[in-house]
């Protein structure tokens, strides 16, 4: 399972929108968007979990892609990598 960090999302974006976008590349295990406490609108970033090979395909295809007038930034979550490496010690 790979966790991806998705940045530069429009404020109108919902978890359903992100799920639909990433599901082109495989099964989306989870989507979590950071939302404003008061307005409940997307704060512009979130996390998506998918299986490894599907996640790599999604990063390759979606990083830099125009979505609703913005260019997405999609990367593997660095914090997730640090957590998994600390468990191996």
Cα–Cα distance measured from residue 73 to residue 38, given in angstroms and rounded to the nearest whole number? 25
Task: Spell out the domains of the chain, with CATH numbers in brackets.
Answer: 2-87 (3.30.70.330)
Q: What confidence tens digit (pLDDT) does each residue in 31-77 have?
A: 999 999 999 999 999 999 999 999 999 999 999 999 999 999 999 98
Cα–Cα distance measured from residue 53 to residue 71, given in angstroms and rounded to the nearest whole number? 23
Is the full-model pTM beyond 0.75? yes
pLDDT reported for residue 79 = 62
Cα–Cα distance measured from residue 34 to residue 84, given in angstroms and rounded to the nearest whole number? 23
Cα–Cα distance measured from residue 38 to residue 57, given in angstroms and rounded to the nearest whole number? 35
Cα–Cα distance measured from residue 87 to residue 73, given in angstroms and rounded to the nearest whole number? 28
CB 54 within 8 A of CB 62: no
Cα–Cα distance measured from residue 22 to residue 54, given in angstroms and rounded to the nearest whole number? 9
């Amino acid at each position: 399972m790979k966790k991806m960090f998705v940045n530069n999302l429009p404020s109108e974006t919902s978890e359903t929108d992100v799920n639909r976008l990433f599901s082109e590349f495989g099964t989306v295990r989870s989507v979590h968007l950071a939302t404003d406490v008061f307005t409940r609108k997307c704060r512009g970033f979130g996390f998506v979990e998918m299986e490894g090979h599907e996640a790599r395909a999604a990063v390759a295809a979606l990083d830099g892609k125009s979505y609703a007038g913005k260019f997405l930034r999609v990367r593997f979550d660095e914090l997730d990598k640090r957590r998994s490496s600390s468990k191996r010690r």
